[in-house]
Amino acid sequence: MRDTLMAEPVEAEQSRGGDFAADIAALETQFDAIRYMKKITQAFGFQAFLVCVVPAFDAEKLSSAAILSNMPADLVNTYDSISMLKHSTGIRRLRETTTPFQLTLEDWEKESSRLPQTNGYITQLREHGILQANYFPVHDADGSRATVIWMGKRADLPMSALMELQMIAIHVYN
């Protein structure tokens, strides 16, 4: 009897994250963690990453929720200066789900309560090549919630990439 249920052999997709569990376990400093996250960001074709706690309802600034990031400073500063945290579709969804999700810039424009001051921010996102954000919710043993967000050009990620990124997010946050 065959050991497989598949008629055709399926080639395993190569992991872009390498041996992420061992790599993450070897991280000793915040600088090491940022360097590792930059490597993963580039390996998957993203522009930037952000690891942050899910902000409280009364939080006003993304910068105060950030744990690790290589987001351009001008994007974070503008986001905070126009109080986007209160109107963020991504943050709202993080409070409603624990499964990964994607938001394109077009989705964000439709779903956010569009304030006039967001036009400049949207232009900045486009200038930085950020057209999609991929959210990977995580939590620690105490139940504190956070997310790892990879941002970049618009891409339909295959399930294998989503699973790999979720596992990386879990290990990096933990």
pLDDT of residue 119: 83
Can you tell me the distance from the alpha carbon of 159 to that of 154, in angstroms, rounded to the nearest whole number? 16
Asked if the structure places residue 1 within a domain, the reply is no
Asked if the structure places residue 3 within a domain, the reply is no
Residue with tokens 């979720």: 166
Can you tell me the distance from the alpha carbon of 157 to that of 138, in angstroms, rounded to the nearest whole number? 19
Domain holding 99: CATH number? 3.30.450.80
Kindly report the pTM of this predicted structure: 0.86
Number of domains comprising the chain: 1
pLDDT in tens, 47-66: 999 999 999 989 999 999 99
Structural domain span for residue 141:
40-173
Asked if the structure places residue 2 within a domain, the reply is no
